[in-house]
Amino acid sequence: MRQLDEAAKKAGIVVLNEVGMDPGIDHLYAVKTISEVHAKGGKVREFYSYCGGLVSPEAADNPLQFKFSWSPRGALLSQQNSATFLKDGRVVTIANTDLMGQAEPYHVMEGYSFVAYPNRDSTPFREAYQIPEAHTVIRGSLRYKNNPPLVKALIDLGWLDQEFKPWLSGGQAHTWAGIQQRLTGAKSSSEEDLIHKVDERCHFASAEERARILDGLRWIGLFSDEQPGRLCDTLIDTLSAQLEGLCSLQPGDRDLVMLQHKFVVEWNDGSKNTITSTLELFGEPNGYTAMSKGVGVTCGIAAQLILDGFAPLSQPGVLAPYSRELCDAIRAKVEAEGIKLVEEMF
């Protein structure tokens, strides 16, 4: 998008990005806390930001512990991106095939069992948030603990492949088991032979995890002789179509957006504090989802500010909310709609 900045200026238009949930609301509160710390003479030595578009715990009742409040394909792809971040002054990169294996337990608040993993490239945010003093900058995603191992198995088995597969869309009938056999080179499409290949390709932390993942693959239907309800020309789209049916929000379900910033701050006297800024936002049963509220409200407010001629948005170009003036203006209106992060210091 930034490469379009000059074209946007020539066209005389404002192209405002990163005004949803994450990115969006996360920026509003990161800029707020960092600015306040700097105003008091403090330095942000470590910055962590994790967000998850999830379901409420009582609705996380399937093997993926996940239901879709946004694009199924997008959600799956987000779990096989490579990740780059700054840790103890060193740039660390994790390959996309290894990302789910790096998910680690992460405590946000009581009542949740989350794991977290880094998301895409966090390194530009040291400059964007104006924290050159930070030796650790990590932005990432939250999932319930059983989700990453099952997604990693799907990656290891080839189901998140985005390449066009002519044999999938060539008019020939396929069963899930037949596709699984072709992917793994199993001797036959029997469940026994398919599981043998799963054991070869996947690595399990324990016998319990192996049993849980095999149950998950059965639940998706990958060992069955049934035909996919919607056969697409890529494996990830065929899988996404299946999961869209299995992982849709049911009547009465609530989705959940959990967002937390964590700042490790060093003060002028050498003392340190940890500051957290946390959002726990639930959707309405049979009403608006938390994701739609968080994204829609923020984006709508930003659009209205442009229409109102708000000074920081009056100059054409490709913009994002990193200035204190812009973030404060959007945040005040977002909070008026009942969306607010709670700050604590330890």
Decide: 192 and 128 in contact? Cβ < 8 Å.
Answer: no
SS in 3 state form for 113-152?
CEEEEECCECCCHHHHCCCCCCCEEEEEEEEECCHHHHHH
Q: Rg of the chain over CA atoms, in angstroms? A: 22
Q: 98-107: long-range contacts at Cβ-Cβ below 8 A with a sequence spacing of 24 or more?
A: 100/148, 100/149, 100/151, 100/152, 100/155, 101/148, 101/152, 101/203, 103/143, 103/148, 105/145, 106/50, 106/142
Decide: 168 and 182 in contact? Cβ < 8 Å.
Answer: no
Decide: 48 and 138 in contact? Cβ < 8 Å.
Answer: yes
Decide: 261 and 49 in contact? Cβ < 8 Å.
Answer: yes
Q: Which amino acid is at 327?
A: C
Catalytic residue among 5, 22, 98, 193: 22
Residue count of the chain, please give it: 346
22 catalytic residue (yes or no): yes
**For residue 266, what are its two tokens?**
């060093």
Catalytic annotation, residues: 22
